[in-house]
Chain A
């Protein structure tokens, strides 16, 4: 065991000493996570830009622009009218809000005033949504002026100062906004609306599967360097050699998965502390099983090409049949074949923990299968290395 650890540490020293390889392997999960976040991690709500021409010079035009800009789903871009018309003409823009000159003066005088949407065609899908949000903002503003007009009319001639009327109206409108009489609540249909929950198990499975590729080349690599024979003339046994390579491959494969899972834990908040630790444990067991499988390839392959091609075949087979990215229905031949894929057990485990809120205690079969692969993989690879021609 001690010599196996010495072999593993030597392997890790080489891994850590190769700055390029190290940077790539550590950045890969971060890049993958960024892609996942970009694809599934955003707010999932509409976000657009309101293009506005404000020809009003008074405070209410400015206030309207500020109210629109305060909408979380909208950015505001102010344009000159000529610029807006040119862009509309060229179809660079589909919809622009025009606040007319004298907007504030008319409101101050309690006179009706017209806002205009300058639009190309129907304004486009995004334009229609932007217009709808602006209508909501205008409606609130309208409501505020109506209330103020009514209050002022009711208090006319009673000696109430104007600033007190303004403050009272503002407080009233704010209270109405915060506690509307008619509210709207959103309930998403379906029990699993989170895309991250849906895809993360498959992505983690694929990451851990890299351990197969890492360990598939470990013996060929020693042959290429000419060090295999030298190792075999030391007191290192073949079992220790394979165990050392196994430990190093598990570490290398697991580190990437650890980074990915940690980022998912921190950012997506889809784990509880317990489900996170259980997922780490399952990932470790799967990394061990994948590394053991890679060792079998390492024991068979005599050249780098052979190791690569066998690895590609095995990885593809397990990915396609493992239900990593699509469900395989029960009662079919594919379903029976999928039981030959390690991915099936890993994927089921991660789904159980991440998507279904299950516990590691319910993963007896999956863990037993992966444990069996670990033991069988190490034993079989050692046997094949000794038994096959030109192994040593």
Chain B
């Protein structure tokens, strides 16, 4: 059996009277790409915030490589990289300075951070724009910087919260290639997206969330097989079948 790298056990989180996450349980094996899908407001981002130590769960527990995020948050943080849904970078600094800054904060010394900054920028196809201010970048380039920052410190577990939203196909393809390359190097990835074909293409297993709960979790093919011929059914069919067709805010 594959080694479990992340364990989320019965997570609950409420904001005022609203239950954003209500009893979420799943595991991610080492070197697995795990997809977390769901309509808007399903609780995906809140779940990632709890997994990445930003939020404390009201109940339940998260363990990353055996470290409880509540009891050993620093040890857990040392293993993770987070690429948030919204761009989280300093637009008034250069791409180089952004990566250097976060590299130093994840514990690298100046020389290591510089080497990895150049390596990550090259991986993202941004080496020639390293010294340019991020404010001058296109949306796709900013997304790539966002991902480059998450990779500083060579995390063992990467949280990618809709990393390809609002960008052109070329930048999206570049991000795909990067994620697949990272997986080959042994990284574990939790990936959320609204693009079903992305999840189908990238993820080993997929969990579909709705109303703060996981309503289905399996491989893409197994999920499709549950509702019809897996060769003719799309992941979008599965998604709509499980979460309904009503509009979400």
Residue ranges of A at the interface with B (Cβ–Cβ < 8 Å): 3, 6-7, 10, 13-14, 17-18, 225-227, 229-237, 392
Give the chain A neighbours of B55 by CB distance below 8 A: 392
Are the CB atoms of B101 and A6 closer together than 8 Å?
Answer: yes
Which of chain A's residues has its CB closest to B86's CB? A226
Give the chain B neighbours of A237 by CB distance below 8 A: 74
B4 CB-CB contact with A under 8 Å: no
Contact of B88 among A7, A18, A226, A236 (CB under 8 A): A226
Contact of A229 among B54, B90, B104, B149 (CB under 8 A): B54
B6 CB-CB contact with A under 8 Å: no
Size of interface on B: residues with Cβ below 8 Å to A? 28
Chain B binding surface SS class: loop
Which of chain B's residues has its CB closest to A17's CB? B92
Given the complex of chains A and B, what is the CA–CA distance between A231 and B88 in angstroms?
Answer: 9
Question: Min CB distance, A100 to chain B, in Å?
Answer: 73
Are the CB atoms of A235 and B107 closer together than 8 Å?
Answer: yes
Given the complex of chains A and B, what is the CA–CA distance between A13 and B52 in angstroms?
Answer: 28
Are the CB atoms of B77 and A392 closer together than 8 Å?
Answer: no
Contact of A233 among B53, B86, B91 (CB under 8 A): B53
Give the chain B neighbours of A230 by CB distance below 8 A: 82, 84, 88, 102, 149
Contact of B105 among A17, A225, A226, A231 (CB under 8 A): A231
Contact sample, A vs B, 14 pairs, CB 8 Å cutoff: A3-B105, A6-B101, A14-B90, A225-B90, A226-B86, A227-B88, A227-B90, A231-B105, A233-B52, A233-B53, A235-B77, A235-B105, A235-B106, A236-B105
From residue 81 to 104 of chain B, which have CB atoms closer than 8 A to chain A? 81-82, 84, 86-93, 97, 101-102, 104
Give the chain B neighbours of A18 by CB distance below 8 A: 92
Are the CB atoms of A3 and B93 closer together than 8 Å?
Answer: no
Are the CB atoms of A6 and B105 closer together than 8 Å?
Answer: yes
User: Which 10 pairs of residues, A with B, have the shortest CB-CB distance?
Assistant: A234-B105, A226-B88, A230-B88, A226-B86, A233-B82, A6-B104, A233-B52, A227-B88, A229-B54, A236-B105
Given the complex of chains A and B, what is the CA–CA distance between A235 and B92 in angstroms?
Answer: 23
Given the complex of chains A and B, what is the CA–CA distance between A288 and B142 in angstroms?
Answer: 36
Beyond A232-B54, A233-B82, whether A225 also contacts B91 by CB under 8 A is: yes
Give the chain B neighbours of A6 by CB distance below 8 A: 101, 104-105
Given the complex of chains A and B, what is the CA–CA distance between A116 and B97 in angstroms?
Answer: 77
B70 CB-CB contact with A under 8 Å: no
Residues 60-77 of chain B: 1 if any A CB is under 8 Å from the residue's CB, otherwise 0? 000000000000001001
B36 CB-CB contact with A under 8 Å: no
Are the CB atoms of B89 and A232 closer together than 8 Å?
Answer: no
Residues 25-41 of chain B: 1 if any A CB is under 8 Å from the residue's CB, otherwise 0? 00000000000000000
Most buried by A among B77, B104, B107: B104
Are the CB atoms of A13 and B93 closer together than 8 Å?
Answer: yes
Are the CB atoms of A14 and B54 closer together than 8 Å?
Answer: no
Give the chain A neighbours of B84 by CB distance below 8 A: 226, 229-230
Given the complex of chains A and B, what is the CA–CA distance between A37 and B186 in angstroms?
Answer: 68
Beyond A3-B104, A6-B105, A17-B93, whether A233 also contacts B87 by CB under 8 A is: no
B78 CB-CB contact with A under 8 Å: yes
Given the complex of chains A and B, what is the CA–CA distance between A10 and B11 in angstroms?
Answer: 35
Given the complex of chains A and B, what is the CA–CA distance between A7 and B93 in angstroms?
Answer: 13
B80 CB-CB contact with A under 8 Å: yes
Residues 167-181 of chain B: 1 if any A CB is under 8 Å from the residue's CB, otherwise 0? 000000000000000
Which of chain B's residues has its CB closest to A227's CB? B88
Beyond A231-B105, A235-B105, A392-B54, whether A10 also contacts B90 by CB under 8 A is: yes
Give the chain A neighbours of B92 by CB distance below 8 A: 14, 17-18
Give the chain B neighbours of A225 by CB distance below 8 A: 88-91
Most buried by B among A13, A233, A235: A233
Give the chain B neighbours of A17 by CB distance below 8 A: 92-93
Question: Min CB distance, A285 to chain B, in Å?
Answer: 29
